[in-house]
Structure 1
Amino acid sequence: MARNPARRTELLDAATDLLADVGARGLTFRGVDERAGAPTGTTSNYFRSRDELLRELCDHVFTRLTPDPAYVEDRLQAPPTRELETTLMRDLVDRAEADRAGHLALFELRMEASRRPELREVFTARFRANLQAITADHVEGGFPGGPETARVLYLAMTGLLFEHLTLPGLHAGSEAELAELVASVVARIVPTGPET
């Protein structure tokens, strides 16, 4: 089995972009090789099966979409208010727009899990861990509202991102309208003060 970590990352990035462009049914080893500009057979040297590639893609995409810890630390210097939560959700939308393929790949992985029970458990565990981390960050960070607030905000923002990335302009035709929409979502979910 090949062990070049940089090449493995290149292949996973190419697979992410391919998954976003053509969906899970079009994700083939040959397609990943072509997208990565690698010789035919390279992907099969790194991944034993398509299922292994999909499982590794799930972790890779989450890692790829994780914000820079220094940037997050800087943001969290402000008091944990509804206003900061709005800023963080706007940052999430900005990151989604900056790496549209990464977010679309996550949606594709969800769809693949809905069709493939053998992948569903793995994907569900990864998404559950992400939700638990988000909830812990919200609660331990002292943001208004408790765990349920974090969960509802997660669900609302997931829906907003899905709509925005798959049907741009459906709900917001400009950056200002999108920023207003995000602020509206946060205002309706996150209380102004401590948990009520």
Structure 2
Amino acid sequence: MSTRPTPKHPASLATPRPSATSRPELIADAALALLAERGMRGLTHRAVDERAGLPQGSTSNHARTREALLEAAVRRLAELEARVLAPGALLASGDADGAAAGLAAALHRYLTGSPELLVCRYELALEATRRPALRAFYDDAGRRFREPLTALMAAAGSADPERHALSVVAWAEGMMFACAVGSYHRAVPSEEELRTGCAELLRGMLGRAPR
């Protein structure tokens, strides 16, 4: 296992965000930064205004309720995760070898470059269990990741792509939790170690060994 590098706040959580192109993006980025640093209790409209450097009341004008602010955070999180994980690019791999390599590369990018986004993901996922409307919104945002993965399993020769996609998601989610906030939070597997682990998983599911 490789040693985790000193955690850095990725550009996705910097405030103000240099690449934010609109006030809604700036507000959502500030909300994610607060979630990562202070948890759900630290996320308030006033705190977002202060973190984003906006006039008081700006966040309330954009997201009048807490539910709306949380939905904005979920939407932005999905956008930032898509940049890191690039789920659409996985479809180019086309076979088990490429699937293992592509998944390992995406997972390694996330674990080493954007650990704070993972903290936000867990904060929002837990809150969604208590808010049915947010649960539906959170699940809908997650489809952009599940659908390409199901297609990838089909392209790799899976006889049951949806079930196998669930197994891959469970493996990846477990790895991310262990390395971001769990017992392996001080170390992250190398990309090669992740590729080997993913290849072993795919071998068992697909009935042949990715090289």
Q: TM-score range by the shorter chain?
A: 0.7 to 0.9
Residue 139 of structure 2 aligns with which residue?
Answer: 124
Instruction: Give the TM-score normalised by structure 2.
Output: 0.73
SS in 1 for 2:55: coil
Letter in 1 for 2:47: G
Distance 2:53 2:47 in 1: 10
Amino acid of the structure 1 residue aligned with 2:193: E
Q: Partner of 1:40: helix, strand, or coil?
A: coil
Aligned length: 185
Match of 1:44 in 2: 60
Secondary structure of the structure 2 residue equivalent to 1:167 = coil
Report if aligned partners of 2:87, 2:148 keep a CA contact under 8 Å in 1.
no
Moved over 4 A (4+): 68-73, 75-78
CA RMSD of aligned residues (A): 3.0
Rounded Cα–Cα distance in structure 2 between residues aligned with 1:30 and 1:179 = 44
Aligned to 2:187: 173
CA distance in 2: counterparts of 1:91 and 1:181, whole angstroms? 8
Deviation larger for 108-117 or 122-131: 122-131
Q: 1:173 to 1:133 in 2, by over 3 A?
A: closer
1:90 maps to what in 2?
104
The one of 28, 31, 41 aligned to 1:12 = 28
Displacement of 1:29 in angstroms is 0.9
Q: TM-score normalized by structure 1?
A: 0.78
2:77 is the counterpart of 1:64:
no
Residue 168 of structure 1: how far off its partner (Å): 6.5
Which ranges of structure 2 fall in alignment gaps of 5 or more residues?
Answer: 1-19
Deviations 1:26-47 (A, max 9, x none): 2111121222122222211211
**Greater RCO, CA 8 A, separation 6+:** 2
**Tell me, what secondary structure is at the counterpart of 2:56?**
coil
- 8 Å CA contact 2:100, 2:195 repeated in 1: yes
Displacement, 1:112?
0.2
